[in-house]
Amino acid sequence: MTMIGATALLAMPPGPVRRAWAQAGERAVAFVKSTSDRLVDVVNSAGSPAEKRRRLAEVIAATVDVDDIARFCLGRFWRIATPDQQTQYMGLFHDLLVTEIASHLGEYQGVRVTMGLARASTDTEIVITMVDRPNNPTTQVDWVVSTASGSPKIVDLLAGGTSMRLTQSADFTAYLSRHQYNIHELIAGMRQQIAQNQ
């Protein structure tokens, strides 16, 4: 038994609660396996960049709680945005997420994802995976899965222990601080970033 497995087992309570956690963990692992398989298929396919982007957008829409991540990344500034700015920001965040991932697809050609364990957090399941890319060291990527919406959705990725949504939130906050906390400026910056990577 691995150290991670032993630690997880010791931390679990006995009886029905442990069985419920185990079942939830199995569902989360199956969901992440299905999602990662779909993403790997897109990455390793011979389709055009436009076709890969279209397929990638479909996978993200079906498996990622983009609205939840978008609101988290804007943080306290969500409340000062006008309804129109909130609508624009949400649409741009969806586009930005797809654009950013699509722009790096070439770096992951030949990628393989190996499934690991799942562990329960407060209101999520965290599924551990190992990601192998040719000519790159193996990287641990933890998928944070929530079922708050009724079906499993990815709400964060932890790469090397670093939260992707916390990193993006910090980037947005830094950008806003340089632009007098003007939401309009952030929206303009997001549009520019999308245009540069398409």
Which pLDDT value is given to residue 104? 84
Fold of 3-197: Nuclear Transport Factor 2; Chain: A, (3.10.450)
Which pLDDT value is given to residue 24? 53
DSSP E strands, the chain: 112-120, 125-132, 139-146, 153-159, 162-163
Q: Looking at the chain, how many residues does it have?
A: 198
SS3 149: coil
pTM value is 0.82
Low-confidence ranges of the chain (pLDDT < 70): 1-24
Structure confidence by residue, pLDDT tens digits, 128-163: 999 999 989 999 999 999 988 788 999 999 998 899
Which pLDDT value is given to residue 23? 53
